Amino acid sequence: MSIKKIFLALIAITAFANIFAQTFKTEEEAYTYFKNNLLAMDKVEGVFKCTSYQQTGNGEPQKMPLLRKTIIVKDGEMLKAYWLRDNSREVNPMSFMQILKRDYINTYDVILYGQSPKPIEFIDENSFKVKKEKKDKATDGITESYFFERVFPTQADIDKERLAHPTSAKCTGFLISGNLMVTNLHILENAKSIKVKGVRGDFGNTYNAVLSQSDKNNDLAILSFEDPTIKIPCPITLNNVPLEAGKDVYVLAYPLTAATGDEVKLTNGMVSSKMGFQGDIAGFQINVPSQLASVGGPVFDKNGALVGIIGANKGIPETSSLCTKTSYLKSLIDALPVKVKLPAANALAAKPLTEKVKTLSKLVYIVEVEY
């Protein structure tokens, strides 16, 4: 069946209900509707400024007197466009344009005033144009187009809402014993699923994980693999010696994976403060730049012993990172229902840094969360 026939069939089915299709009658109601549905909107939904242009032959397009606001909203399988009435904020109840999205090739076809279907021409993420058919022979050689520029919501509005209400997140986690991993709790809260990548160096597959123990006060979480047969030897030891400013440390984490790939990143630094935010004795600060995906990453001393866990940055410059001391992680491990035995001696202490990093990198993973 042709696109035109599909359009005509859909229009015929919805013709009777067309007057009442939109969910609002005024511009104010439209703004409220879109504000409440920012993350569920189609890319051609919203409040638009519509401008008409005419072009003769290959000449420059000439702006026409028409300049009106338009509301485009999804209605079942279609999207419909409604003019705002002249000198009024009321929405005209009859749609003048119907749009059908063809998901299988990600294009949009439009019928303007009942004319033949034609594709939408996107100009950028907030605007598109639609060509009108010639009215009669007198208009041969003249092309008329409508330009639609979205005034609300803009892509910036949508991006801001997406940041405030993410649907997914990435952070770093690391093995502490057998099948137990450590990361930050705030990343996992309200998670529908937790998946882990990089186990045994495999970034092609993901492994399901569940929350086993948590410490909300110190933003710590212990995960376990859903598959109980996954058990990996772990030589990580804890260094609970009080930290001093100037102590050398290094971090293994997965910042900016979209740009730098799924390879664990090594960052050297030092302790810049032996206390955390506003003098928090459970934390300390290092002069390593903070990155969202580094959250949950391990902080090691020069001997390869764990001294802390990267936490969420709050109230300090982005050139530094807040960390949680390992003594608080030890308390959380001791609270597990199953006793966990950590190595008593540090087998990595005498090895060169390259060997330490090579061994420890195999125990640091990407944690992917869906909300």
Total count of domains within the chain: 2
The mean per-residue pLDDT over the stretch 62-86 comes to 85
Torsion of CA 183, 188, 192, 198, to 10 degrees: -20
More confident residue, 15 or 66: 66
Distance CA 12, CA 6 (A): 10
On the question of pLDDT at 141 being above 90, the answer is no
The CATH code of the domain that includes 24 is 2.40.128
- The token duo for 88 is 């009024």
pLDDT level of residue 187 (50, 70, 90 thresholds): very high
Residues 121 and 243 in one domain: no
pLDDT level of residue 19 (50, 70, 90 thresholds): very low
pLDDT of residue 68: 85
**DSSP letters of 28-62?**
HHHHHHHHTTGGG--TT-EEEEEEEEEEETTS--E
Residues 148 and 58 in one domain: yes
Residues 146 and 253 in one domain: no
Rg (CA), the chain: 29
Ramachandran region of residue 235, left (φ > 0), alpha (ψ -120 to 50) or beta? alpha
On the CB side of 31, how many CA atoms lie within 13 Å of its CA?
Answer: 9
The mean per-residue pLDDT over the stretch 37-49 comes to 90
Of the listed ranges 6-15, 147-156, 325-334, 353-362, the least confidently predicted one is: 6-15
3-state secondary structure of 5: helix
Name the average pLDDT for the chain: 87
Tokens 């990155």 sit on residue: 291
- The token duo for 294 is 């580094």
On the question of pLDDT at 120 being above 50, the answer is yes
pLDDT of residue 63: 82
- Where does residue 296 rank: exposed (0-12), middle (13-18), buried (19+ CB within 10 A)? buried
Dihedral sign for Cα atoms in the order 267, 284, 257, 203: positive
Distance CA 173, CA 225 (A): 12
Q: How many residues can be counted in the chain?
A: 371
pLDDT of residue 66: 65
Residues 258 and 145 in one domain: no
216 in Cβ contact with 234 (< 8 Å): no
On the question of pLDDT at 4 being above 60, the answer is no
Distance CA 86, CA 48 (A): 15
pLDDT of residue 114: 81
pTM of the model: 0.64
pLDDT of residue 5: 54
**Nearest alpha-carbon partner for 146 in 128, 123, 134:** 128
Domain around 76: 3-160
pLDDT level of residue 11 (50, 70, 90 thresholds): very low
Maximum mean pLDDT: which of 105-109, 114-118, 248-252: 248-252
| Listed residues 116, 136, 160: the one ending a domain | 160
The CATH code of the domain that includes 189 is 2.40.10.120
pLDDT of residue 13: 41
pLDDT of residue 1: 52
pLDDT tens for 198-248 read: 999 899 999 999 999 999 999 999 999 999 899 999 999 999 888 999 999
Distance CA 222, CA 132 (A): 61
Distance CA 119, CA 121 (A): 6
115 in Cβ contact with 98 (< 8 Å): no
Q: Which residues contact 2 (CB under 8 A, 6 or more apart)?
A: none
Residues 206 and 324 in one domain: yes
More confident residue, 213 or 133: 213
| Listed residues 160, 185, 210: the one ending a domain | 160
Residues 127 and 177 in one domain: no
Of the listed ranges 61-65, 109-113, 126-130, 336-340, the least confidently predicted one is: 61-65
Residues 270 and 156 in one domain: no
pLDDT level of residue 140 (50, 70, 90 thresholds): low
| Listed residues 139, 160, 181: the one ending a domain | 160
pLDDT of residue 60: 78
On the question of pLDDT at 129 being above 50, the answer is yes
pLDDT of residue 22: 52
Residues 297 and 327 in one domain: yes
Residues 39 and 144 in one domain: yes
Residues 156 and 214 in one domain: no
Beta partners for residue 68, in sequence order = 50
Residues 364 and 248 in one domain: yes
Cis preceding-peptide flag for 153 (omega within 30 of 0): yes
The mean per-residue pLDDT over the stretch 249-263 comes to 88
Residues 198 and 148 in one domain: no
Distance of CA 226 to the CA centre of its chain: 25
